[in-house]
Amino acid sequence: MSLLPLLVALVGLVLIAQLLQGGWRLALGLVLLIGFLQDPLRKVLVGQPPLTVGLVLVAACACGVALLLQRGGLELPLVLATLPRLGQWLPLYGVLLALQTVHGLVRFGQPLLSLIGLGVYLAPLLGLWLGFEVASEPPLLQRLLRLYVLLSIPAGLSVWWSYRGVDHPLLKEVGSGILIHFQPGVSLYGASGVWRTSEVAAWQLAAAACLALVLATAAQRRSTVWAYGLLAVLFTALTLLTGRRKAQVLVLLFVLFDALLLQRWMRPPWRGWLLGNLVALAGLSTLAAGWLVPQLLGADLGVYLQRSLSARDELGGRFSQMALGGFSRALDLSGLFGLGVGAAAQTGNLLFDRGQQLGSRLNFVAESGAGKLVAELGLVGVAVLLVGLVLLLELGRRNLTLLQDLPPALVHLHLGLVAFALANVPFFLAASGVYGDPFVLLLLSLALGSVLAVPLLVARARGLQLPSRTDAA
């Protein structure tokens, strides 16, 4: 079955959604739904085509075009209010991507490969802008977060069904699956549920746990705090079934970053309230895990827990090998100017001829986020990218200083989303495979993009006169 009719139908579906009463807001919920449905769809299509992972990006682009037409522009003065000079870097980044796309196309002669590679670099920009637009309407932001957590419940339960051996095509990994070496003499396939691989399942479950904690610690009612807290415990426990240790470390890093950001940017007495919620949820997680994990894992409890606990001893070596080693090897391959966009793209069973010798050497580099960037953009391109990242961090820091004028629950919502994005940085550097997924990139950049709306929200709170916005809330 060709994916072209499916992609066309999808774009049409999203554009039709713009015409409904909810407009682009309703379409964003549809984008999230497509993100959850694209992996099961891939499993039932003939040949399990990898291009299905791009469905969510197509939908998000269609939503973005509709929103752009309604707004009448990108509203960059509002997006970059506290650091306008970041807007001067954007054309430079655009030129870099254009040149490296042409470079990759000339080198490999495969337009689809270049298009896939380009999507990885454009998705974060789209997500940042959508994050600003969504966060400029706090109720919409909270609805989308709740929708993501809600959709994660049946998807997460499918991981448990997969672990329990339910025999159904939707619960099996694509292809032949990934065999994980738990310990000497013990190799198992991690549970993936409706997601295409155990690695994707692990990241999505960890993300659901983090976002559930964001909603929990920002909630006003104790019952809501405990409800989201229990969901976070459930999602974290389910990550054990995937056999992917990085998921539990990601949740732990998120909690640490969140606590640090709360301590730094939240004012008393709300700082004590939210930190108390976070500590209470951590204690609840410990107690609940003592009962819940054995129920989930049964007789295999020991080997899964040992697999999870071994992360503590291997994290440093893994980071050094993949992040630093990948960077060094990529530098040997690409030099100053790189190999072009798409050179290190991981495309599953969609095979491209990148040269036998070069292709085998890129397999290792592609696992490292730092290595992937150097391999494709070269040192010059990475330098340009780093300038933009430094400016973005400065913009975020300036926006965080304005949080004091917002309601406490909204403050934590933004801090929690920033903590979620920051917790993913070391994993991108050391294990970038899952970050080639457009859905993952959109979620992360949308979370980080929410902080861009802080100046707009503060201006409203202060009663300042703002530029008129078409279709503004």
3-state secondary structure 70-84: HHCCCCHHHHCCCCC
In this predicted structure, what is the pLDDT of residue 93? Answer: 93
- Asked if the structure places residue 172 within a domain, the reply is no
In a domain, 118, yes or no: yes
303 and 394 assigned to the same domain: yes
**Within this chain, do residues 286 and 428 fall inside the same structural domain, yes or no?**
yes
51: helix, coil or strand? helix
Q: Which comes out higher in pLDDT, residue 24 or 94?
A: 94
- Is residue 143 pLDDT above 90, yes or no? yes
Q: CA 312, CA 44: separation in Å to the nearest integer? A: 38
How far from 137 is each of 30, 214, 295, 410, 429, CA to CA, in Å? 18, 17, 41, 11, 32
Whether residues 66 and 121 share a domain: the answer is no
Between 400 and 51, the higher pLDDT residue: 400
Q: Are residues 209 and 339 in the same domain?
A: yes
| Average pLDDT over all residues of the chain | 79
**Mean pLDDT of the 119-142 span:** 92
Report residue 1's pLDDT band, with 50, 70 and 90 as the boundaries: very low
The pLDDT value recorded for residue 22 is: 47
Q: Please, which pLDDT band fits residue 164 given cuts at 50, 70 and 90? A: confident
Of residues 59 and 305, the one with the higher pLDDT is 59
In a domain, 155, yes or no: yes
Residues in Cβ contact with 6 at an 8 Å cutoff, skipping those fewer than 6 apart? 55
Q: Which helix (H) or strand (E) holds 62?
A: helix 55-71
459, pLDDT greater than 70: yes
Whether residue 204 is predicted with pLDDT greater than 90 in this model: the reply is yes
Q: What is the mean pLDDT of residues 294-309?
A: 56
Domain region containing 37? 1-73
DSSP for 389-438 reads: HHHHHHHHHHHHTTGGGS-HHHHHHHHHHHHHHHHTHHHHHH--GGGGSH
Q: Do 220 and 269 form a contact (C-beta atoms < 8 A)? A: no
Tell me how far apart the alpha carbons of residues 435 and 277 are, in angstroms, rounded to a whole number.
30
Give the pLDDT band (50/70/90) at residue 349: low
Residues 30 and 103 in one domain: no
Q: How far apart, in whole angstroms, are the C-alpha atoms of residue 432 and residue 265? A: 30
| Assigned domain for 1 exists | yes
Same domain, 103 and 23: no
Select the more confidently predicted residue: 343 or 295: 343
Between 253 and 293, residue with greater pLDDT: 253
Mean pLDDT for 106-121 is 85
What pLDDT is recorded for position 188? 63
> Is 365 domain-assigned?
yes
Domain shared by 30 and 116, yes or no:
no
Helix (H, G, I), strand (E, B) or coil at 182: strand
SS (H, E, C) 224-292: HHHHHHHHHHHHHHHHHHHCCHHHHHHHHHHHHHHHHHHHHHCCCCHHHHHHHHHHHHHHHHHHHHHHH
Do 55 and 135 lie in a common domain?
A: no
Kindly state the percentage of the chain with pLDDT values over 90: 28
**How many independent structural domains does the chain possess?**
2
Q: Which residue has the higher pLDDT, 181 or 243?
A: 243
Portion of the chain with pLDDT greater than 70, in percent:
72
373 pLDDT tier (thresholds 50, 70, 90): confident
Return the minimum-mean-pLDDT range out of 41-50, 139-148, 173-182.
173-182
At 205 the pLDDT is 95
Rounded mean pLDDT, 316-337: 65
Which band of pLDDT confidence, cut at 50, 70 and 90, is reported for residue 111? confident
CA dist 435 and 432 (Å) reads 5
Amino acid letter, 329: R
Domain boundary residue among 73, 89, 106? 73
**So what's the pLDDT on residue 158?**
94
pLDDT of 332 over the 80 cut: no
Residue 287 and residue 334 in one domain:
yes
Q: Which pLDDT band, with edges at 50, 70 and 90, does 141 fall under?
A: very high
Q: Residue 394 falls within a domain, yes or no? A: yes
3-state percent breakdown (helix, strand, coil) of the chain, nearest 5: 75, 0, 20
Higher pLDDT, 366 or 224: 224
**Same structural domain, 54 and 112:** no
Distance CA(414)–CA(430), nearest Å, equals 26
The reply to whether 320 and 409 lie within a common domain is yes
pLDDT at 119 over 80: yes
Question: Hey, what amino acid is at 309?
Answer: L
**348 shares a domain with 296:** yes
* Predicted confidence band of residue 36 (pLDDT cuts 50, 70, 90): very high
Question: What DSSP string describes 114-154?
Answer: HHHHHHHHHHHHHHHHHHHHHHTSHHHHHHHHHHHHHHHHH
Q: Is residue 366 part of a domain?
A: yes
- pLDDT at 428 (0 to 100): 83
Do the Cβ atoms of 325 and 344 come closer than 8 Å? no
Query: Is there a domain that residue 357 lies in?
Result: yes
* pLDDT tens column, 58-101: 888 888 887 887 887 888 888 999 999 999 999 999 999 999 99
370 pLDDT band, cuts 50/70/90, is confident
Residues 6+ apart with CB under 8 A from 193: 155, 156, 157, 158, 159, 160, 161, 162, 171, 201
18's tokens: 């713009």
| Matching residue, tokens 């709300």 | 270
User: In the structure encoding, which two tokens stand for residue 252, read together?
Assistant: 């732990």
* pLDDT at 455 exceeding the cut of 60: yes
